[in-house]
Amino acid sequence: MTGVENIVATGATALAVDLVRRMAGPSADRVGDLLGDKIFRSENLIKILGKTHRKLREADQPVNVVPLRLLIPFVETCSVEDNETLQEMWAGLLATASQETDSMSPSFIETLKQLTPDEAKLLQRCWTDNIRPALAKLRREAAELEFKVREMMRQKGLPDRTESLMTGVRRRVATEIQQVDFGDHSDTLERLGLIRRNFGVQVKTTRGGGDEITDVESEIGYRLVYTEYAVRFLEACHGAESKI
């Protein structure tokens, strides 16, 4: 019995089996042998695969082969996740892995598996209320400016050596969004590289009667801001939705 036949024998739904078979490509039997029936008896995994299929279908995106360095740890890790919010994020991550086969970082899997349900809900709100709208706005502005620059270069007969203005959008989003209250989750999110402390120095001066400076006091403070890694991570966890 081949690896894929072993998966079928576990009672996994036809949709889940077909999705794994297509994502594993030529390595489908090897994947089945490596994972065994213990993984594919997981109702959690079946649910996540169903959500992944839905996300790809709604975005009209194809199911592409996912590198084994992503597919194997993904399936092994998410098969134990029973929280609805985290299941949606796992499904988005797998949908992204199917589209960005060479560029999605394996570290996203490690980051996601360390989040608690409460932390996941907080990040979902951050995505919906802050990051996604800012991304859409800045990308639209960058696209319009890039078009104008290229059109100007074309009209003047100059060679188009314009670098895409999209490359710095995630970085701008990370630093321009107003501070968010991360509450008790700030330590974990900072450890995972999703937020960082943006330090600043405030200088206060005291002037005398002749307007001369008589005293200078400096105060160092910081605010918590998203990292560019956080923007990439949350984009990946929302799969096709992040491009809508």
Phi, psi at residue 198, to the nearest 5°?
-100, 105
| Residue 11 burial class via C-beta count within 10 angstroms: exposed 0-12, middle 13-18, buried 19 and up | exposed
Question: pLDDT tens digits, the chain, 244 residues: what are they?
Answer: 344 444 444 445 777 778 888 888 887 777 766 666 555 567 888 889 999 999 999 999 999 999 989 998 898 888 889 999 999 999 999 999 999 888 899 999 999 999 999 999 999 999 999 999 988 888 888 888 777 877 777 777 776 665 566 677 888 888 777 767 888 999 999 999 999 887 776 666 666 666 666 666 666 767 888 999 999 999 999 976 655 4
CA distance 134 to 103: 23
Q: Do the bridges between strand 213-226 and strand 195-207 make them parallel or antiparallel, or are there none, so unpaired? A: antiparallel
Q: Report pTM.
A: 0.79
Q: H or E stretch including 225? A: strand 213-226
CA distance 43 to 205: 64
Question: Which neighbouring-strand residues pair with 204?
Answer: 217
**Hey, what are 36's tokens?**
């065994």
Residue identified by tokens 């400016």 is 145
Domain ranges of the chain: 3-110, 121-233
